[in-house]
Amino acid sequence: MKLQGTVWLAVGLWWGLGELPVGLAAARPNVVIFLADDAGWGDYSVSGNQQVRTPHIDSLAQEGVSLERFYVCPVCSPTRAEFLTGRYHPRTGVSGVSTGHERLNLDEATLAEAFRAAGYATGAFGKWHNGSQWPYHPLARGFQEFFGYTSGHWGEYFDPPLEHHGEFVRERGYIVDICTDRALAFIDRHRDQPFLCYIPFTTPHSPWAVPDEYWRRFRDRPITQRATVPDQERLDETRCVLAMLENQDDNVGRVLRKLEEHGRGDNTLVLYFSDNGPNTWRWNGGLKGRKGTTDEGGVRSVCFLRWRAGLPRGRRVPHLAGAIDLLPTLTSLAGISRVGDKPLDGRDLTPLLRGDPVDWPERLLFSSWNRNVSVCSQTHRLDHQGRLYDLRHDPGQTTPVNAAQPELAARMQAAARAWRREMFGAEDAESTSPRPKAATGSRSVDPRPFPVGYREFPRTWLPARDGEPLGGVRRSASAPNSSYFVNWTSLDDAVVWEIDVHTTGRYAAELYYTCPVADAGSTIELSFGDSRLRGQVQPGWDPPLYTNQDTLPRPLAESPMKEFRPLQLGTMVLKKGRGPLTVRAVEIPGREVMHLRALSLTLLPDE
């Protein structure tokens, strides 16, 4: 089967075969990194999608280098970990997308740390998704400025509350536009020095929300290119995704214009890619699978690098590449040293990007999620069930070739077992079964404690996402990101965060809650070790759910949101050490205690 919608011959002529401008000796480039959230390989007009216009993203391919066989992870936070470290995500501590499993181990060095050590100004504007509490926070991982959100899913796209250096501010507008505004301001401030500007977009991740001007373009538009599994496609969701992509493309254009405005267009290295495959069934060039799978459709992404002063125009690189290659490649192109000495899994792609003569060894790339492991070579993919496909003739993975190529199948199966053993241990080496998911109500939060109490970042946010509900307490929806605790009706109920207090001291405790007026007045107790703090849930505050957020009904797994208010409990002394931080009710005069969005602990100055 040929890749559907492939217009590579025409695209190649369109791009042209431009060469690196003669006489341009590149100084250290600025770096702008765009990362889409849940966009598939087929979501761009440059990939052959005739239903969407992405001219600014496409221009990066026209004016730069396109990695045609570029692979990421099946889901968000693992890709971010691999991009930031140059290492496969199981090595980095990232094993999930929520409840602490998304955190990047503290002994891992990041791309941002390397650029900051080299004198670059560093900023991140958007979705972080590799840890919320200091020192997992982006400001502790090499970024000097952060604006956005640290979780994997955000429930408010219009007029959202977003974090700036540890404090939340309510903004006005659409989340992608707002974060891009902050990135533009960062570029303005640092236009006269080298900078690394990281813009991890929120879209097209759900909820399905996009400004009206974009939705009107697609609301009644026929969908003519259909998903690989067409009966699974929800056409309105496809329309919303495409509208989100056009908004995202416009924001890419805003940044590119800003670079030109400051005369930095030629000597800025611009990178664009996505963090996993499409989050819905929609057209993806006939590739098998979607987000969450280790097949081609789940892990193949576009990847464009434009640097007019340092890379050729319109070059297409057919070699296998992945997110693990970005750290060694970007540091090499910028002429800076990496930070840290852990062995890298990625390669420096510089000679491929520039078209230099090079003896490029064959390689395998591994994809994993939920203990499913898939292996890709330059020509073949071995899926997580051991079926071998020849991607040269069957990119849609329709016909296994194990019988025709048994030796290759055996070699790739052995490689998958060896990689699984190296990443997950001998116990998993022979397993082909997915990792069992935690049952509802089980203690599924990452056992690594959540750090609290650093002088350099005194406020620690402990969202419901990172807590463990006990008794009858439940999350507001099955996806922990952007959830809150509900159904708190009994004295036997509680919420627990496993924390590690770094500094003994006095802490101000604050809850973010809602509570019907008739139920206000419950007495609650916050405890850690032998320290106790009591307070009352009052006044009542019972706002309606927001009605301004969704273009289409949001997925059932995602919580509808409302306005939570702070409740100051008072101050308590926390002693250095690890243990459970527990909130429970000691008196409940009404039907329920409250809905709880988050707990904040702020280390106070010494008296």
Q: Are 352 and 366 in contact (CB under 8 A)?
A: no
Task: Establish whether 515 is a catalytic residue.
Answer: no
Coil, helix or strand at residue 506 = strand
Q: Are 250 and 176 in contact (CB under 8 A)?
A: no
Phi, psi of 497 (to 5 degrees): -115, 130
Q: How far apart are CA 29 and CA 247, in angstroms?
A: 27
Which one, of 74, 85, 82, 84, lies nearest residue 124 by Cα?
84
Q: Are 430 and 414 in contact (CB under 8 A)?
A: no
Q: Which of the following is catalytic: 129, 137, 153, 190?
A: 129
DSSP code string of 370-418? TTEEEEE-SSEEE-TTS-EEETTT-TT--S--TTT-HHHHHHHHHHHHH
Task: Establish whether 303 is a catalytic residue.
Answer: no
The 10 Å Cβ neighbour count of residue 107 is 9
Q: How far apart are CA 428 and CA 420, in angstroms?
A: 7
Q: Are 554 and 570 in contact (CB under 8 A)?
A: no
Q: Residue 435 half-sphere exposure, CB side, CA atoms within 13 Å? A: 15
Q: Are 517 and 538 in contact (CB under 8 A)?
A: no
Q: What is the rounded radius of gyration, in angstroms, for the C-alpha atoms of the chain?
A: 25
Q: Within its chain, how far is the Cα of 199 from the centroid? A: 11
Q: How far apart are CA 349 and CA 326, in angstroms?
A: 8
**Helix %, strand %, coil % of the chain (to 5):** 25, 25, 50
Q: Are 130 and 94 in contact (CB under 8 A)?
A: yes
* DSSP strands (E only) in 249-296: 268-274
- Give the length of the chain: 607
Cβ within 8 Å of residue 231, ≥6 positions away: none
Q: How far apart are CA 423 and CA 441, in angstroms?
A: 28
434 DSSP assignment:
P
Q: Are 108 and 92 in contact (CB under 8 A)?
A: yes
Q: Residue 164 half-sphere exposure, CB side, CA atoms within 13 Å? A: 9
Q: How far apart are CA 151 and CA 99, in angstroms?
A: 9
Which one, of 286, 245, 253, 287, lies nearest residue 270 by Cα?
253
Q: How far apart are CA 250 and CA 172, in angstroms?
A: 18
Place of tokens 């082909």: 432
Q: Which of the following is catalytic: 73, 76, 303, 515?
A: 76
Positions marked catalytic: 76, 129
